[in-house]
A = this chain, B = another copy of it.
Amino acid sequence: MDKIFKKYHPMTETAFYILFSLTEPRHGYGIIKNIEALTNGRLKLGSGTIYGTLMKMQTDGLIVLFSDEERKTIYEMTTLGQQILQQEMQRIKELHDHIIQFEEGKQ
């Protein structure tokens, strides 16, 4: 299990936003649109990115199938996924702190 935590530390921006989108159950295409909305159109994921990442995260136990309808494969986060998301959010806060400290030091 520890190996998985290292594997996702740090995460890429793309992987983070995908996992972050799964704080509620969503399907691939829905995640793409959610990220596009969150970032005001800045981040548009390619199909290879989303389906490849979802498969990898499923293999690693970060997410599981929530429902598998005809044309919608919906995923939800596992407890492990939540822990890894938490770890990543902590890391981003660390980055943010460094930036704030730097900006304060400039004045």
Contacts and interface: CB of A to CB of B under 8 A. Distances in A.
A72 interface: no
A93 B96 contact: yes
B98 A20 contact: yes
Contact of A99 (B12, B13, B39, B93): B93
Given A12-B12, A102-B23, A92 B94 contact: no
A96 B93 CA distance: 7
Nearest to A89: B99
A38 interface: yes
Interface of A: 10, 12-13, 16, 20, 23, 38-39, 89, 91-96, 98-99, 102
